[in-house]
Amino acid sequence: MKNLPRVLIVEDEPAIAELIAVNLRHGGFDPAVAYDSVMAQRELDAVLPDVILLDWMLPGQSGLALARHWRKQARTKSIPILMLTARGDESDKVAGLDAGADDYITKPFSIQELLARIRAVLRRRAPESVSDSVTVGALVLDAATHRISHQNRELKLGPTEFKLLHYLMKHAERVHSRSTLLDKVWGDHVFIEERTVDVHVKRLREALGAAGAMVETVRGSGYRLTGLKVRTPVAAAPSGT
């Protein structure tokens, strides 16, 4: 029997948590429920889920604080987090994404939209089906082994940042609008806001370290990945010429 994708629901209102859990079961998922940060951590320690649905407002430690904490832990840093909240302002959405959320859904929401977003983050987490290797300057990406290195130093990227970098490297020196990146990298752009691209580009630059300068912002247009320009010494003309 095929294992169903496990979804950890971190929601302090039991009625909402149970409603989500029932619909997730009907949608082909295996839900687990936690009502606060302590229960959530206990669930994570026992079994790692495939996706976390994380409420912003929780008793004790907030959802934002939990997201930041889990993103710093090697065991949980790659688990997709979908933030659930009644806070719909853009600044709040950006705060959630900056804290480490992969997506953001505002209450009230339809179950169909929630299921679609969960499936979308699971698809983005899935390994690339291609097995090519791409090199731009001193940056090397091997899709088969899911490894990235710069100047022979291995780098660690999350699944979304890896997919974003892969696309940018395969189409280096071209300018890509945010809507194009959403379409090519995320796929389900109907549910994702363009501001999400900016947050993941910021994460990508941070993860790349010195190579982050290769990801350029083209004002008013989007982003471009370019090879770092290396100045080639010009040989001196022979004396007497």
**How far is residue 152 from each of residues 140, 148, 149, measured CA to CA in Å?**
8, 9, 6
**For the chain, how far is it from start to end, CA to CA, in angstroms?**
81
Q: Note whether 43 and 32 are within 8 A (CB).
A: yes
Question: What does the pLDDT read at residue 194?
Answer: 77
Quote the DSSP letter at residue 228. P
Q: Note whether 89 and 105 are within 8 A (CB).
A: no
Taking residues 123-128, what's their average pLDDT? 61
| Amino acid letter for position 193 | E
* Domain spans of the chain, in order of start: 6-125, 133-225
The encoded tokens of residue 99 equal 């804290």
Cα 7 → chain centroid: 17
- Residues, the chain, total? 241
The reply to whether 6-125 and 133-225 are identical in fold is: no
For residue 188, what are the contacts with CB-CB under 8 A and spacing of at least 6? Answer: 116, 117, 120, 123
- 133-225 in CATH: which number? 1.10.10.10
- 6-125 in CATH: which number? 3.40.50.2300
Question: What does the pLDDT read at residue 188?
Answer: 54
Sign of the torsion angle spanned by Cα atoms 223, 228, 232, 233: positive
Q: Give the separation between CA 8 and CA 33, rounded to whole angstroms.
A: 6
Cα-only R_g, the chain? 21
Residue 191's pLDDT band (cuts 50, 70, 90): low
Report the relative pairing of strands 153-155 and 147-150 from DSSP bridges: antiparallel
User: Tell me: the pLDDT tens digits for 133-163?
Assistant: 899 989 999 887 888 999 889 998 888 888 8
Range of weakest confidence among 33-47, 119-133, 164-178: 119-133
